[in-house]
Each structure stands twice: as C-alpha cells, then as structure tokens.
Amino acid sequence: MKDIKTIELDQGGGGEKSSQLISLIRKNLKVKSRWKNTDDDAAVFDLAYFPEAKKREKLLFTTDGFIVDPVFFPGGDIGKIAMCGTINDLCVMGARPLGISLSLIVEEGFPENDLLKIIRSINQVSRETGVPIVTGDTKVTEKGKLDRIEITTAGVGLAEKIIANNGARIGDAIIVSGNLGEHAVALLSQRFNYQTRIKSDCQPLIQEIGSVLPYLSAAKDPTRGGLSAILNEMADKARVKFVLAEKNLPFCRETAALSELLGIDKFAFPSEGRFIATVSKKNAAKVLNRLRKFNPSAKIIGRVEKGRGVFLETNLSVLKRIEVPRGKLIPRIC
C-alpha cells in the first residue's frame, strides 16, 4: 500500500516543520498584488495606490468560517467555497475586494495532497478574480480533535456606494441571478447517496454584480438559511412585503425533486454563487438581460409591496407566508 503523505502535528507547532508547510502553501498561492509585508503579522496596503479613489470610499471588512462536509464535492471544495464566500460577502455590499486572509486548522493525518488541492482551488479563484490571499495562519491539531480541516477567511474591500440589505422599495422587482439551492443539492446528494448532474453553484460574483451594481436597491447572497431566511431579512429590514409568484420559483427540477425526496424544504437550501436583489421596476428588464448573459436561469421571482412579511402566491391563489426556517437545518453545508 502506497504511503500517503499526511499532515503531522509538528507542522502546526511553529518550528522548522511549520515553516516548511507554510512555504509549501505559499508556493501554491501566487497572485501578484500591491499588498506588502505579506509575510508579516499583518499585510499592508497603501491607499495612495488609488489615484482614482474618491474621498468618500468606504472600507469594508468581513469574515467567515467553513466546516463543509464533505470537503470535496461536485463543483468545488472547501477552499473554493471559502474564497467565494468572503469575496461574495464583499461584492453584495457593493465593494471591490482588495485582499483575503486565510486561516487553516488541519487535523493531524489529513493527506498533504488533499491540502494542496484545496490550496490550488483557492489560488484558482484568486487568479480568476484578481483577489489575492495576503496573509494567513496554519495550525495542526491532534487526530480526533477536529474533523479534517477548518478554514476561516476574512476580507477587506472598498466601496463608493454601499448596497445595504434594507434598501428594498415598494414597487421594486425581486430578481435572482440564477436557479438556487444547487450547492445544497450537490452536498446532500453526496451525503445521502443520490446521483445527479447538479454541481455546486459555488462561484465568485464579482463580474455579475459589477455588471448591474448601480441598479440594485438591495442585495444579499442566499447562503445559510437559503431563500426564505434571506427574503425575510430583506423584507423585515426594509419594512416591506415581498410577494413571490409560484410559477417563477427559481429552482431547477432536480432541486425540487431532491427537496421532496429528503423532506427538506428547498427554500432553506443554501447557494454559494448566487445573489438576490431588488431593482426598481424601470430597471428590472435591463438588469435581467445583463444577468442572463452570465446565467440564463436568472429571473424575476416577485415584487415588493406595501405591508410586511414574505408570501408566496400559490396556484390556488392563496397567499402563503414563507417563514424564516426553524429547527435543525442542514448541518455543515458551508
């Protein structure tokens, strides 16, 4: 039996072996950027580099932890989701991401090749988006004290105009950038032994949001909690009512089928590469056309009205309330 190289406890100790592991990781994260001191305690970015920066730009800062199970899934892995998660959190606020920090905690015995695969995934997102990893940390715990690997990313970005989550206005259209829940489908099908062509929807949203940024009154990405959690948050914060049309539900047939098969509400299925936005009626068609160039399943799913709450108009013409999901949802999905 081939001897698989695994991560040793020593490599998290801060000594020689740690330095070697960090060198190995850094060798695989090569994206040029203006950040300096990236091997220091904190990385440095000189704001003088932005001659075009208008005085009113704001600095945004976000962080996320990732414990997804399984670590490798159709359409991505924990590295990809860690990068996209933090990049997207900045993008849906209207920011352009400047740099990401990467903290890894690895269980002793985790195969080195798997770790490198994950690092390369991170690097790939970094290359595609131009967003660099500028600082990081690596620790190793004893076997059994952690399940394989955990990643925490933090990110900073700059934005001229913030798209808050409370900006929805009466009369706006509610638009999604594509069919939802496919990240959940990819993971759940692995866990419960179903086969499907569906891959995780995990992807960075920089270009998509960038193409329609000025027209968005509010935006959020439906990760944990899925569509129902996000819509309730947006409607609640803006003090408006959202009404969705049953014939425009943004789920592909496989997502609907898996939801029924498992008895888990698809409205709670997270996506990791989609966003939901409210757009004024006059700009809705323009936004939709631009988004459809990235994803043909982008669609208008409902409208913003006076009142409170989130509702679905059923095929029996009854308004049914969509509630914030409660209870034990899907564990370890991101």
Query: Could you tell me the smallest distance in angstroms from the CB atom of residue 248 to other proteins?
Result: 10
Find tokens 């259209």 and name the residue.
173
Q: Which amino acid is at 241?
A: K
Helix (H) or strand (E) holding 58: strand 58-66
Return all residues near 210 (Cβ < 8 A) that are at least 6 apart.
Answer: 91
Query: Could you tell me the smallest distance in angstroms from the CB atom of residue 307 to other proteins?
Result: 10
Determine contact, residues 141/100, Cβ cutoff 8 Å.
no
Number of residues forming the site for other proteins (CB under 8 A): 37
Q: Which is nearer to other proteins, 233 or 313 (CB)?
A: 313
* Phi, psi for residue 164 in degrees, rounded to 5: -80, 170
In the region spanning residues 149 to 168, those forming contacts with other proteins, defined by CB under 8 A, are: none
Query: Could you tell me the smallest distance in angstroms from the CB atom of residue 198 to other proteins?
Result: 8
Query: Could you tell me the smallest distance in angstroms from the CB atom of residue 311 to other proteins?
Result: 7
Q: Residue 173 — left, alpha, or beta (φ > 0 → left; ψ -120 to 50 → alpha)? A: beta
CA 163, distance to chain mean position in Å, is 17
Q: Which is nearer to other proteins, 70 or 167 (CB)?
A: 70
- Each residue 113-152 as x (binds other proteins by CB under 8 A) or -, in order, gives ----------------------------------------
In the region spanning residues 301 to 330, those forming contacts with other proteins, defined by CB under 8 A, are: 309, 311, 313-321, 323, 326-327
According to CB under 8 A, which one of 101, 123, 189, 278 is a site residue for other proteins?
189
Q: Which is nearer to other proteins, 293 or 320 (CB)?
A: 320
Counting beta carbons within 10 angstroms of the beta carbon of residue 8, is it exposed (0 to 12), middle (13 to 18) or buried (19 or more)?
Answer: middle
According to CB under 8 A, which one of 40, 193, 306, 331 is a site residue for other proteins?
193
According to CB under 8 A, which one of 196, 211, 283, 295 is a site residue for other proteins?
196
Q: Which amino acid is at 232?
A: N
Region binding other proteins by CB under 8 A among candidate stretches 8-16, 133-141, 242-250, 298-306:
242-250
In the region spanning residues 246 to 275, those forming contacts with other proteins, defined by CB under 8 A, are: 246-247, 249, 251-254, 256-263
Sign (positive/negative) of CA torsion 203, 206, 207, 210?
positive
Q: Which of 288, 304, 308 is nearest to 296 (CA)?
A: 288
Q: Which is nearer to other proteins, 162 or 319 (CB)?
A: 319
For the chain, what's the residue count?
A: 334
Query: Could you tell me the smallest distance in angstroms from the CB atom of residue 320 to other proteins?
Result: 5
Q: Which is nearer to other proteins, 123 or 232 (CB)?
A: 232
Query: Could you tell me the smallest distance in angstroms from the CB atom of residue 80 to other proteins?
Result: 23
Determine contact, residues 265/259, Cβ cutoff 8 Å.
yes
Q: Using the rule CB under 8 A, is 55 a contact of other proteins?
A: no
CA distance 87 to 272: 11
Q: Which is nearer to other proteins, 144 or 327 (CB)?
A: 327
Query: Could you tell me the smallest distance in angstroms from the CB atom of residue 52 to other proteins?
Result: 47
Determine contact, residues 103/136, Cβ cutoff 8 Å.
yes
Q: Which is nearer to other proteins, 22 or 256 (CB)?
A: 256
In the region spanning residues 15 to 44, those forming contacts with other proteins, defined by CB under 8 A, are: none
Bridge partners of 97? 157
Q: What angle do CA 318, 218, 153 make, to 5 degrees?
A: 115
Query: Which residues of this protein are in contact with other proteins, per CB under 8 A?
Result: 189, 192-198, 246-247, 249, 251-254, 256-263, 309, 311, 313-321, 323, 326-327
